[in-house]
Amino acid sequence: GEREITPFTPLAALDLSLGTCIQVVWLSSSAAGRGRCVSRAFAAIKANGSAVTWGGAHYGGDSSAVAPLLTEGVVQVFGTAHAFAAIKANGSVVTWGTAHYGGDSSAVAPLLTEGVVQVCGTDHAFAAIKANGSVVTWGSAADGGNSSAVAPLLTEGVVQVCATLGAFAAIKANGSVVTWGDAADGGNSSAVAPLLTEGVVQVFGTAHAFAAIKANGSVVTWGDADYGGDSSAVAPLLTEGVVQVCGTAGAFAAIKANGSVVTWGSAADGGNSPAVAPLLTEGVVQVCGTAGDFAAIKANGSVVTWGDAADGGNSSAVTPLLTEDVVQVCGTLGAFAAIKANGSVVTWGKAHWGGDSSVVAALLNEGVVQIS
């Protein structure tokens, strides 16, 4: 049968009979969770490799134009704000949705027939990495869909692409970084170009800024200063020892090798952590973000939260359940869910974004091994 589901549909309301397996992709770009959320279309990958879509036609909910290509072999689906791109088992890509926002890839179709291994999206454009290390882009030129200015640098050697809402950053095998797209969103990295010629191992994004970890443990930032692009206030703490960076819509949090955490960017989005600073000086092993706040797991299994109280930055309602044994934390746009060692789940934050799990509480008391 069929039924409509939304981000607010409780799992208990779904009839998932034995043998039925679906993966639902809620339309969102790679910058989702960092300031934009669109709940107007879905794409579901079924166990047989087919894809089913529904929701707003102009947002990718109508895939009838490419339906014959989605009957089998689909392995991954990615989204911009108004379109989807599916990678098939043969390495080809199928796109649909609003044409100028990534739904129409006809201009680069010959390059998407085979060999694609990763797709990443801004709000209105896609970038695909091929097995030969080249990058193919399409969609809104202003949001990264036109990479002609850096095309010679994207013909080989690209190993990772990261996005903000309007720009892409690609890491090459030699450790250099190439950026393009909206300059205000990090597409222009000229101010830090000398620091991005070698040694970069990872790049992360907020809505409008990037942060790169280098092999020596230092961090380089660029993009909108108010969204994490300016880390000068904490620069002395980012010269070495950084092992992980996580972003919200407007702030970054970096874990250092000594277990301490450094934050910068929009205070409202978790960039200012003085209220919990004494708890972040050591022992932190993981940091996860929603749109406006962070949650850190410590080595003793406790959880520390900060940022926008409404989005999960205030976990006081479940504090007794977060003092020990937490092994994983996952965030939506406005809520967190934590798995404990006994397989139970604790949730907090905005109720309609998953912070209230009371409807399925009986199913979350034990046996949970992963949340995504």
Domain ranges of the chain: 1-119, 248-372
Confidence band for 63, pLDDT divided at 50, 70 and 90: very high
What pLDDT sits at residue 221?
A: 99
**Which structure tokens are listed for 324?**
């020990």
Q: Are 184 and 143 in contact (CB under 8 A)?
A: no
Q: Are 157 and 173 in contact (CB under 8 A)?
A: yes
> 3-state class of 141 per DSSP?
helix
The Cβ of residue 264 has, within 10 Å, a number of other Cβ atoms equal to 28
Mean pLDDT of the region 81-104:
97
Confidence band for 41, pLDDT divided at 50, 70 and 90: confident
Residue the block writes with tokens 């999206």: 121
pLDDT value at 343 more than 60: yes
Which among 101, 242, 131, 25 is positioned nearest to 253, based on CA atoms? Answer: 242
CB-side neighbour CA atoms (13 Å) of 302: 11
Distant-in-sequence, close-in-space partners of 155: CB < 8 Å, separation ≥ 6: 134
pLDDT value at 195 more than 60: yes
CB-side neighbour CA atoms (13 Å) of 102: 32
Core vs surface per residue 342-354: b (16+ CB within 10 A) or e: eebbbbbbbeebb
CB-side neighbour CA atoms (13 Å) of 188: 8
Confidence band for 311, pLDDT divided at 50, 70 and 90: confident
What pLDDT sits at residue 6?
A: 45
pLDDT value at 21 more than 70: no
Q: What percent of the chain has pLDDT over 70?
A: 89
CA–CA gap between residue 184 and residue 44 (Å, rounded)? 34
Encoded amino acid at 301, one letter: G
Confidence band for 3, pLDDT divided at 50, 70 and 90: very low
The Cβ of residue 274 has, within 10 Å, a number of other Cβ atoms equal to 10
What pLDDT sits at residue 105?
A: 99
CB-side neighbour CA atoms (13 Å) of 313: 20
Q: Are 168 and 146 in contact (CB under 8 A)?
A: no
In the chain, what is the straight-line distance between the N-terminal and C-terminal CA atoms, in Å?
25
Task: Write phi, then psi, for 311 (nearest 5 degrees).
Answer: -95, 10
What pLDDT sits at residue 236?
A: 98
CATH of 248-372, one of 3.30.360.10, 3.30.450.20, 2.130.10.30, 3.40.1790.10: 2.130.10.30
> 3-state class of 143 per DSSP?
helix
Mean pLDDT of the region 79-107:
97
CA distance to 60, 210, 292, 358, per residue, from 265 (Å): 33, 11, 11, 34
Phi-psi region of 175 (alpha: psi -120 to 50; beta: other; left: phi over 0): left
What pLDDT sits at residue 33?
A: 43
Mean pLDDT of the region 14-24:
45
CA–CA gap between residue 76 and residue 71 (Å, rounded)? 13
Q: Are 36 and 30 in contact (CB under 8 A)?
A: no
pLDDT value at 9 more than 70: no
User: Parallel, antiparallel, or unpaired for β 177-181 and 200-205?
Assistant: unpaired
pLDDT value at 34 more than 50: no
Residues paired with 98 in a beta bridge: none
> 3-state class of 371 per DSSP?
coil
